[in-house]
Amino acid sequence: MPARKAKVLAVTSGKGGVGKSTLTVSLGIAAAASGSRVLLIELDAGLRGLDIMLGISGVVYDLGDLLEGRCNISSAIIPSPNVSGLYAIVAPVSMTGPILIQDMRLLLDGLRAYFDLIILDTPAGLGRGLRITCEVADLALIIATPDPVCIRDGNQVVREMLSRGFTSHRLIINRVNRKFIRRQVVQDLDEVIDGVGSQLIGVVPEDGEVTLFSSHGRLPDPKGELQRVCRAIIARLGGEYQPLIVR
C-alpha cells in the first residue's frame, strides 16, 4: 500500500443548526467517490448523528471508548456500509471527562498514515471544539448560512482563530435560497463573505433532499446538486480549478 499522509479538515461554525454534520458526511462521500480513503471523526459528545447519516447500525465502540482506553483503534473505526473508502469514528454518548487536545493530536498523528483525508465534525461555537481545531487541523471549513446572526457568529470564529494564530480557513455558504436575498435578509453573498471574513470555497443551495439524507440515512443522489457542489469543493481543496457556480 502506498504511503499516505492525511490532510485534516475541521468543519466548524459559530452557531449550531447550520448543516455542519450534513456537509461533513457529504464531503466525505464526495472525497471517497474520487478514490480517497476518508475518515470522519465526530467530536460533539452526547450529540451523535453520523451513524444515522451513514446508515451505520449497532455501534459498539465510539470516540469516548477509544480515548478512555476501552477499545483499540481498529475497533472504533467503522466502515460505511454504503460507501467504499469511507470510515467513521462516532461521537461518544458520554465521557467521564472532556476531549483533550493532546489526546486528539496523538490520535490524528497515528491515523494520518492510513487515510488520505480526515474530516473532524466539531461542536459549534467558541469552546473546546474550536480550540481543538486550531491545534490539530490543517484547514478549517467555516459553515455559515446567509442570515445576519450566522454571519456575525462566523466572524467571531474567525476572530478567535486569529487570536490563536490560526489562519488556515475557508468559507462554505450553506442553504442558499435566492428568496432570502431577494427579500433583503442579506443583500448578496458578498455580504456573507465580507461579514464572516474568510475566503469562499463553496456555495451549497438549499435542497429538500438533505432532510431525507440527514434524518433517515438515505445517501444523497450522486448526480444531485449537493454532491455536485461537494465534489467541486473537494477538487478545490486538492488544488484543482473548479468554477464557482451559484444557481
Other C-beta atoms closer than 10 Å to the C-beta of 171 total 24
- Write out pLDDT tens, residues 202-215: 999 887 666 556 55
Give the range of the structural domain holding residue 145, as residue numbers without chain letter.
Answer: 7-237
Q: Do 123 and 157 meet the contact criterion of CB atoms below 8 Å apart?
A: no
Residues 182-189: what's their mean pLDDT? 62
The distance of Cα 171 from the centroid of its chain, to the nearest Å, equals 12
Q: Which amino acid, residue 132?
A: I
The region of weakest confidence among 34-43, 121-130, 135-144, 148-157 is 121-130
Mean pLDDT of the chain: 88
Identify whether 55 is part of a domain: yes
Q: What is the DSSP-derived secondary structure letter of residue 199?
A: E
Total-model pTM: 0.92
Number of domains within the chain: 1
Q: Do 171 and 199 meet the contact criterion of CB atoms below 8 Å apart?
A: yes
- Write out pLDDT tens, residues 189-246: 888 999 999 999 999 988 766 655 655 567 777 778 889 999 999 999 999 988 876 6
Q: Do 176 and 229 meet the contact criterion of CB atoms below 8 Å apart?
A: no
Question: Of 48-57, 155-164, 202-211, where does the model show the most confidence?
Answer: 155-164
Sign of CA dihedral 189, 196, 142, 179: negative
Q: Residue 191 and residue 206: Cα distance in Å, rounded?
A: 18
Identify whether 33 is part of a domain: yes
Q: What percentage of the chain has pLDDT greater than the value 90?
A: 61
Identify whether 245 is part of a domain: no
CATH number at residue 65: 3.40.50.300
